[in-house]
Homo-oligomer: A and B are copies of this chain.
Amino acid sequence: VTAYEVILRKRQGEELTPNEIEFMVRGFLSGAVADYQMSAFLMAVFFTGMSDAETETLTRVMLGTGSTLDLSEVSGAKVDKHSTGGVGDKLSLVVAPIAASAGVRVPMISGRGLGHTGGTLDKLESIPGFSTSVPPEEFLRLVSDVGMAIVGQSPEMAPADRRMYALRDVTATIECPPLIVGSILSKKLAAGLDALVLDVKVGRGAFARDIESARDLAARLKRIAERLGLPTTALLTDMESPLGRAVGNALEVGEALAVLKGGGPQEVRELSLALAARMILMAGLAPDVEGAARLAERELDRGAALEKFAEFVGAQGGDPRIVDDPDLLPSGTVVEEVRAERAGFVAGIDAREVGLAAVALGAGRTAVGDRVDPAVGIEILRAVADEVAEGDVVALVRGNDSGRAEVARTRVRAAFSISGEPVGRPARILEVLE
- Which A residues have a C-beta under 8 Å from some C-beta of B? 3-4, 7-8, 11, 34-40, 42-44, 46-47, 167, 170-173
Contact = CB atoms under 8 A, between A and B. Distances in A.
Contacts of A7: 171-172
A177 to B, nearest CB: 15
Given A34-B35, A37-B170, A39-B43, 8 more contacts: A3-B170, A4-B170, A4-B171, A7-B171, A36-B38, A40-B171, A40-B173, A44-B47
A171 to B, nearest CB: 4
Interface of A is mostly: helix
Contacts of A46: 11
A173 B12 CA distance: 11
Contact of A172 (B4, B35, B173): B4
A409 to B, nearest CB: 25
A43 B11 contact: yes
Number of copies: 2
Contacts of A11: 43, 46, 172-173
Contacts of A171: 4, 7, 36-37, 40
Nearest to A45: B43
B37 A40 contact: no
Nearest 5 interchain pairs by C-beta: A40-B171, A43-B43, A8-B172, A36-B39, A7-B172
Contact of A170 (B34, B167, B172): B34
A21 B11 CA distance: 23
A42 B35 CA distance: 14
Contacts of A170: 3-4, 34, 36-37
11 contacts: A4-B171, A4-B172, A7-B171, A11-B46, A34-B36, A35-B36, A37-B39, A37-B170, A40-B42, A40-B172, A43-B47
Contacts of A38: 36
User: Which of A37, A40, A42 has the most CB atoms of chain B within a 10 A radius of its CB?
Assistant: A40
Contact of A43 (B35, B44, B167): B44
A40 B170 CA distance: 10
Nearest to A169: B4
A8 B36 CA distance: 16
A326 to B, nearest CB: 37
User: Which of A34, A35, A39, A47 has the most CB atoms of chain B within a 10 A radius of its CB?
Assistant: A39
A180 to B, nearest CB: 15
Nearest to A174: B8
A136 B161 CA distance: 49
Contacts of A43: 11, 39-40, 43-44, 47
Nearest to A3: B170
Nearest to A34: B170
Contact of A36 (B3, B4, B36, B44): B36
A37 B172 CA distance: 9
User: Which of A36, A37, A46, A167 has the most CB atoms of chain B within a 10 A radius of its CB?
Assistant: A36
Contacts of A39: 36-37, 39-40, 43
Contacts of A3: 170
A173 B47 CA distance: 14
Nearest to A47: B47
Nearest to A12: B172
Contacts of A40: 39-40, 42-43, 171-173
Contacts of A36: 34-36, 38-39, 167, 170-171
Contacts of A35: 34-36
A36 B43 CA distance: 11
A35 B40 CA distance: 10
A9 to B, nearest CB: 9
A42 B37 CA distance: 11
